[in-house]
Amino acid sequence: MAMVKTAVVASLKGGTGKSTVTANLGRAFHRKGSQVGLLDVDATAPTLHKALGLAEAPRWETNAAEQMIIPYQVDDLYVVTMASHYGENPAVLWDEPTLIRAMRELNALVKWPQLDYLFLDSPPSSSKFMQELYDCLSDLYGIVLVFQPSDIAVADLVRTIDFIRIKRAPVVGLVSNMAVCISPKGEKFWPYLSPRVDIGSVCEEHGIPLLGEVPLTSLQAKVDAEFDKIADRIENTKPIVLTDDLATRLCKAIARRAVEAVIRRI
């Protein structure tokens, strides 16, 4: 039986579009004929189901005989989110040990069908929770980094790379999300006040695959086309483990590009 490839969609910065990327990755791999599971492990602010177009996450179904949780299906994707458990509105005020225990349970309690890929939508955090998540994913295939190519996002990309280096987790590559805005008329523009940083060349210099540059647009066909390419690259990429040296050089290069981007704006 083929092993499921488990990938964490990660960024220490909030608002980079991890849930949207997770949903689109799921759809892209499904279009390629893969069986895909999506697990939202952002226990305090789960939004994956929203990215899949659901106003509300359906309640969990349980298998009484095996005492397991059954994923619900959205567009033939198998989905599990904590939003099903406590609803859409309440603030989740669990202490960290409780969150960690819940995450460990969730990883063990879901009765997934035979999957080719399982994508985990993770919270923007380097907390003990995230450290434990990587520790309990013994069969982790790799991390898909999600970042915007803006100066303000770069500081957190450096921190994310340092976190991954410490955890010795393999990296599949980086998705440059909301890389450019495309209007309904097809006009391209940079929508942010923060200067644009050329993350692609940094990735290229240091051997981290740039998986794709996803536009911010309502033209879903353009987004789908980019994610189809990203899915191809993920399939054909061997994840790399960042050595101390590579991570340090990468962080310095990203910081340098950010400074250059700011100087160009002066």
Partner 1 sequence: MATITEMLFNFILEDKAMHMATLMELSPEKRLAVVGRKGQIIVTGSQGGVFIVRLTPVGIFREEDDSDLRNEVLMDYDTLREIIIWLAQLGAPRDSKDPGLDPRSAYANGYIRISGDKVLYDAEEIFAALEKHAFMKMQPIAKHALAAMRKAAKDG
CA distance 138 to 135: 7
62 binds partner 1 per the rule CB under 8 A: yes
- Residue pair 21/211 in contact (Cβ under 8 Å)? The answer is no
Element containing residue 256 per DSSP (H, E): helix 244-265
Helices of type H across 77-148: 83-86, 96-109, 128-136
Is residue 109 a contact residue for partner 1 (CB under 8 A)? yes
Q: Report the residue number, 28 or 120, with the smaller CB distance to partner 1.
A: 120
Q: Which of 4, 45, 58, 60 binds partner 1 (CB under 8 A)?
A: 60
Strands 77-81 and 72-74: antiparallel
Give the residue, chosen from 106, 120, 130, 178, that forms a contact with partner 1 under the rule CB under 8 A: 106
Q: Which is nearer to partner 1, 102 or 203 (CB)?
A: 102
Tell me which stretch binds partner 1 (CB under 8 A): 94-102, 213-221, 240-248, 252-260.
94-102
Task: Decide if residue 86 touches partner 1 (CB under 8 A).
Answer: yes
Q: Which H helix or E strand runs over 9?
A: strand 5-10
Q: Judged by CB under 8 A, which of 33, 90, 184, 186 binds partner 1?
A: 90
Shortest Cβ 40–partner 1 spacing (Å): 14
Q: Would you say 64 and 109 are in contact if contact means Cβ atoms under 8 Å apart?
A: no
Measured CA to CA, the distance from residue 169 to residue 50 in angstroms comes to 28
- Cβ pair 78, 36 in contact under 8 A: yes
Q: Is 70 in the site for partner 1 (CB under 8 A)?
A: no
CB of 109 to partner 1, least distance (A): 6
Q: Please, are residues 157 and 254 in contact by the beta-carbon 8 Å criterion?
A: yes
Q: Identify which of 41, 49, 99 has the alpha carbon closest to the alpha carbon of residue 78.
A: 49
Alpha carbons 37 and 52: distance in angstroms, whole number: 13
Q: Can you tell me which of 65, 193, 263, 266 binds partner 1, judged by CB under 8 A?
A: 65
Could you count the other beta carbons within 10 Å of the beta carbon of residue 230?
25
Give me the 112-151 binding string for partner 1, x by CB under 8 A, dash otherwise.
----------------------------------------
Residues in contact with partner 1, shown as a per-residue x/- string from 170 to 209 under the rule CB under 8 A: ----------------------------------------
Residue of 34, 58, 85, 246 that binds partner 1 (CB under 8 A): 85
Among 91, 193, 221, 266, binds partner 1 (CB under 8 A): 91
Residues with Cβ < 8 Å from 76, sequence gap 6 or more?
Answer: 30
* 57 lines the binding site for partner 1 (CB under 8 A): no
Distance in Å, CB of 169 to partner 1, minimum: 25
Positive or negative CA dihedral for 50, 31, 73, 107? negative
Q: Which positions touch partner 1 (CB under 8 A)?
A: 59-60, 62, 64-65, 67-69, 85-87, 89-95, 98, 101-102, 105-106, 109
